[in-house]
């Protein structure tokens, strides 16, 4: 049997390890935040120009929230490792891919998709596993994969409802909220059930053959229905809202944003942007 002194010592060691781990994470975040602040100060207008050229969502933002979007992009970008497979690195690549993630999560408080440390960028369609069909992108436990030629082409044509960047980030968002819960956003997690009450009947009707504004690929399974809904929500917002107003509204509530409005975000009151990275960057 352990003595009271031994038990006290063990508890003290456990507490010390916990405190040191928390302190270590805070120091890493502080260093990263300082770097983000320097990058923002030095290259704000350059990045603003790139995003305005290639990301229609960013270009349409109200000036009052455009700065917030860019800061989030830089924070997201610095928190990830980008690996380039059979393709030469371009500086715009991590910036624009990070912007796709921030676009999806702009109305949420937790936007880092923390579980995913690495984003893999490939030149074009690729083979994965035992699947016969080529992939434009996919999400797995080891990272987010995107084919660059499809990513940039589909952001260039922002009216066809096809966007592999938004599609895969939608898969990643669900993954962190319901599979690993590392990076979970409480609001999104809690409201997804309400979204599904509206979405499931639409999905089932599409599986039965009903044609909607959503791409037929949405009928593949419910995960793909979710990701295709996100693509359509951003790229065909007017048609989506007109044809399926209840589903459109459910997505607005779930994501706390409406793409048809200049500020996008519906309710900013609960968005504190409390991460050390962003607080330092703002202050």
So what's the pLDDT on residue 132? 86
d(CA 231, CA 168): 10
Residue 191, judged by CB atoms within 10 A of its CB (0-12, 13-18, 19+), counts as: middle
Strand residue runs (E) in 129-203: 137-140, 143-147
d(CA 6, CA 26): 30
Q: Is the pLDDT of residue 213 over 50?
A: yes
pLDDT band at 282 (very low <50, low <70, confident <90, very high): very low
Domains of the chain, residue spans: 4-263
So what's the pLDDT on residue 275? 42
So what's the pLDDT on residue 150? 98
Q: Is the pLDDT of residue 267 over 60?
A: yes
* Cβ atoms < 10 Å from Cβ of 222: 16
pLDDT above 90 coverage of the chain, percent: 76
Q: What angle do CA 180, 97, 160 make, to 5 degrees?
A: 105
Q: Is the pLDDT of residue 207 over 80?
A: yes
Q: Is the pLDDT of residue 58 over 50?
A: yes
pLDDT band at 280 (very low <50, low <70, confident <90, very high): very low
pLDDT band at 42 (very low <50, low <70, confident <90, very high): confident
Q: Give the relative orientation of helices 164-178 and 222-235 as an angle to the nearest 10 degrees.
A: 130
Sign of CA dihedral 19, 25, 27, 33: negative
Q: What are phi and psi for residue 35, nearest 5 degrees?
A: -65, -45
CATH code given to domain 4-263:
3.40.390.10
What are 265's strand-pairing partners? 257
Please compute the mean of the pLDDT values over residues 78-97 and round it to a whole number.
97
Q: Is the pLDDT of residue 80 over 90?
A: yes
Please compute the mean of the pLDDT values over residues 165-188 and round it to a whole number.
97
Q: Is the pLDDT of residue 113 over 90?
A: yes
So what's the pLDDT on residue 39? 83
Please compute the mean of the pLDDT values over residues 28-54 and round it to a whole number.
82
Say if pTM beats, i.e. exceeds, 0.75.
yes
- Beta-carbon contacts of 8 under 8 Å, excluding residues fewer than 6 positions away, are none
pLDDT digits (tens, 9 = 90+) for 3-14: 767 667 777 776
Q: Is the pLDDT of residue 281 over 90?
A: no
**Minimum mean pLDDT among 127-136, 150-159, 193-202: which range?**
127-136
pLDDT digits (tens, 9 = 90+) for 214-248: 999 999 999 999 999 999 999 999 999 999 999 99
Q: How does the average pLDDT of the chain come out, rounded?
A: 90
The helix (run of H) or strand (run of E) holding residue 72 is helix 63-78
């Amino acid at each position: 049997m352990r003595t009271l002194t031994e038990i006290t010592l063990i508890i003290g060691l456990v507490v010390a390890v916990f405190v040191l781990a928390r302190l270590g994470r805070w120091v890493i975040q502080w260093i990263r935040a300082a770097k983000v602040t320097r990058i923002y100060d030095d290259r704000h207008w350059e990045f603003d120009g790139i995003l305005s050229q290639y990301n229609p969502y960013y270009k349409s933002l109200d000036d009052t929230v455009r700065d917030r979007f860019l800061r989030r992009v830089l924070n997201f970008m610095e928190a990830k490792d980008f690996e380039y497979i059979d393709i030469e690195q371009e500086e715009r690549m991590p910036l624009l891919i990070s912007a796709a993630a921030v676009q999806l999560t702009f109305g949420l408080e937790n936007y880092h998709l923390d579980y995913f440390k690495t984003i893999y960028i490939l030149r074009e369609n690729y083979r994965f596993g035992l699947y016969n069909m080529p992939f434009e992108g996919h999400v797995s436990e080891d990272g987010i994969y995107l084919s660059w030629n499809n990513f940039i082409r589909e952001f260039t044509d922002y009216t066809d409802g096809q966007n592999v960047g938004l599609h895969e980030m939608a898969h990643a968002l669900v993954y962190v909220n319901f599979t690993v819960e590392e990076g979970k956003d409480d609001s999104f997690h809690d409201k997804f059930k309400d979204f599904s009450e509206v979405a499931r009947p639409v999905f089932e009707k599409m599986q039965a053959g009903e044609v909607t504004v959503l791409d037929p690929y949405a009928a593949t399974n419910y995960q793909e229905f979710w990701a295709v809904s996100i693509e359509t929500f951003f790229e065909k917002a007017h048609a989506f809202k007109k044809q399926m107003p209840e589903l459109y509204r459910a997505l607005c509530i779930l994501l706390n944003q409406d793409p048809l409005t200049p500020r996008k975000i519906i309710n900013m009151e609960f968005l504190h942007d409390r991460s050390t990275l962003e607080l330092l960057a703002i202050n």
